Amino acid sequence: MSTLQPVRGTRDILPDEMRRHRVVIDTARALAEQYGYLEMSTPVFEFTEVFKRSLGDTSDVVTKEMYTFSMKESEELTLRPEATAGIARAFISGGLAQQLPLKYFYCGPMFRHERPQKGRQRQFHQIDVELLGVAEPLGDVEVIAIGAHVLDALGVLEKTALELNTLGDPESRRAYRAALVEYFQDHRAQLSADSLDRLDRNPLRILDSKNEGDRRVIADAPLFGDYLNQESRDFFDTVKAGLEVLDIPYQLNPRLVRGLDYYTHTAFEFTTRELGAQGAVLAGGRYDGLIETIGGPSTPGIGWAAGVERLSMLLGRAPVAPRPVVVVPVGGGAEEAALTLTQRLRQAGLSIELGFSGNLKKRMKRADRLNARAAVILGEDELARNSATVRDLDTGEQELVSLDVLSDRLARFG
RNA sequence: GUGGCUGUAGCUCAGUUGGUUAGAGCGCCUGGUUGUGGUCCAGGAGGCCGUGGGUUCAAAUCCCAUCAGCCACCCCA
């Protein structure tokens, strides 16, 4: 192939694939709006500090996956690896704490320097829903409900399963974390190198390990359920009850964890088995501590992100390109008339193609390749009668139509 | 970041133990029609065999490196 390859982990999105992306994004945006979540946008890059503080200095994303660059000695910038940090930052910079609760929808490209795989690229796209300023478990239920609704509207809900867990409030977490660290310290010898590393940085993550030795140790590890205080237990019960009321099935997964301290209570993931190792398709949770952590007023929050590429891979049939009507001039004398006719029909709201060159045969062939619905043939004969020949390209039937009523006549091909 | 598999026309692939001008299907172009597409028929264009080195009289075929994709780990959307 050419040496002009796209950068590793990036790709061009041509119209066929773009159409799939748009189905995902447009569906999610419309549904989110229906729930009152309004679209907003933040810059693709931020001061590196924004991500370090919000994702945590020890997270994998921050320690080895960020695209960081500096412009001046004082300006360390990073291409965003996810959306929530920027939204939280915008919340603080904009003084938006005055207007709670806030409901946002977001979509755009994200950047992570990971080893590419199917369903995992270095530039990828996410849709994102955030609810700020709601501490009640009903907020969790609504946010998860939007996720389920989006997946259902895309026709992929039955290809996924909702996994649910709670991380409790900070008090419960601290107690559990301490118990976990103590337990794993006693079993250091049986843990994998990866997990030993996690023991310092991110002990909850060990629960998620797929390593066999780790799994044996994990089997007897303390359970989060035993360390949840009453408030946390009640909170989780209310979330579960809400999901049951809405008929959203879920499976409890005590191994579903988030490593960082500002995550609280609900954690959830819609996963699929159709994308190999990249199973998480739409995932999120509650982050009551986040905004305070990066320097704002203590504000509860919950949200999710979903991978546009992953969702579009799950989509069954690709949406077809819109079918235009093609205007075909015959002979040089008809070109001008065709040009004005084309523009007039477009202004009437029709999708019209006018080829730039070629004889009748070539133009008809091109119409066919465009999957055109009809051809409007304009030659000397037609012009003499102030008419055009309209050919239905599906049935092959054609008739002479006066130019005066042409746009009405073509409306049925719209 | 670690380990493994793969890389031949626009696409999907074939290419025998290294041996003359590298093949197929689909797609594309031209013609069979002077004002009519899809089907059919005939013809045609298009490959530095991912890239760079090496072994050999001889490399798409063997070796090394490199780039990219894929799979698992990891991470997550």
* HEC string for A99-136: HCCEEEEEEEEEECCCCCECCECCEEEEEEEEEECCCC
pLDDT digits (tens, 9 = 90+) for A163-190: 999 999 999 999 999 999 999 999 988 8
Nucleotide nearest to A398 (CA to C1'): B36
Nucleotide nearest to A276 (CA to C1'): B71
Nucleotide nearest to A128 (CA to C1'): B77
Residue A70: alpha-carbon gap to chain centroid: 28
Residue A209 has pLDDT above 60, yes or no: yes
> Residue A158 CB: number of other CB atoms within 10 A?
8
Nucleotide nearest to A368 (CA to C1'): B37
Question: What's residue A3's pLDDT?
Answer: 56
Protein-to-nucleotide distance from the CA of A367 to the C1' of B37, whole angstroms: 7
Question: What's residue A163's pLDDT?
Answer: 96
Residue A2 has pLDDT above 50, yes or no: no
Question: What's residue A292's pLDDT?
Answer: 94
Nucleotide nearest to A114 (CA to C1'): B75
Question: What's residue A1's pLDDT?
Answer: 35
Residue A326 contacts residue A353 (beta carbons within 8 Å): yes
Across the range A120-136, mean pLDDT stands at: 97
pLDDT digits (tens, 9 = 90+) for A47-103: 999 999 988 888 888 888 999 999 887 899 999 999 999 999 999 999 999 999 999
Protein-to-nucleotide distance from the CA of A397 to the C1' of B34, whole angstroms: 22
Protein-to-nucleotide distance from the CA of A395 to the C1' of B46, whole angstroms: 35
Which residues share a beta bridge with A400? A389
Protein-to-nucleotide distance from the CA of A374 to the C1' of B2, whole angstroms: 57
Across the range A319-345, mean pLDDT stands at: 92
Residue A389 has pLDDT above 80, yes or no: yes
Closest CA to A51 of A84, A25, A23: A84
Across the range A368-385, mean pLDDT stands at: 94
What secondary structure letter does DSSP report for A255? T
Residue A217 has pLDDT above 80, yes or no: yes
Across the range A266-275, mean pLDDT stands at: 94
C-alpha dihedral sign at A324, A330, A335, A341: negative
What secondary structure letter does DSSP report for A263? -
Cα separation, A168 vs A55, in Å, equals 19
Across the range A277-287, mean pLDDT stands at: 92
Protein-to-nucleotide distance from the CA of A357 to the C1' of B58, whole angstroms: 51
Residue A378 has pLDDT above 90, yes or no: yes
Share above pLDDT 90 across residues of chain A, in percent, rounded to a whole number: 75
Lowest mean pLDDT among A234-238, A260-264, A364-368, A410-414: A260-264
Residue A232 has pLDDT above 70, yes or no: yes
Question: What's residue A259's pLDDT?
Answer: 67
Name the residue closest to the C1' of B38 by its CA.
A368
Instruction: Kindly write down the DSSP assignment for every residue of A162-206, as one continuous string.
Output: EEEEE---HHHHHHHHHHHHHHHHHTGGGS-HHHHHHHHH-GGGG
Task: Write the CA distances from A193 to A180, A323, A334, integer angstroms.
Answer: 17, 57, 77
User: Considering the entire predicted model, what is its pTM?
Assistant: 0.92
List bases, strand B, within 7 Å of protein CB: 1-3, 9, 28-30, 33-38, 50-51, 67-77
Cα separation, A46 vs A77, in Å, equals 6
Name the residue closest to the C1' of B72 by its CA.
A277
ipTM of the complex: 0.88
> Residue A27 CB: number of other CB atoms within 10 A?
19
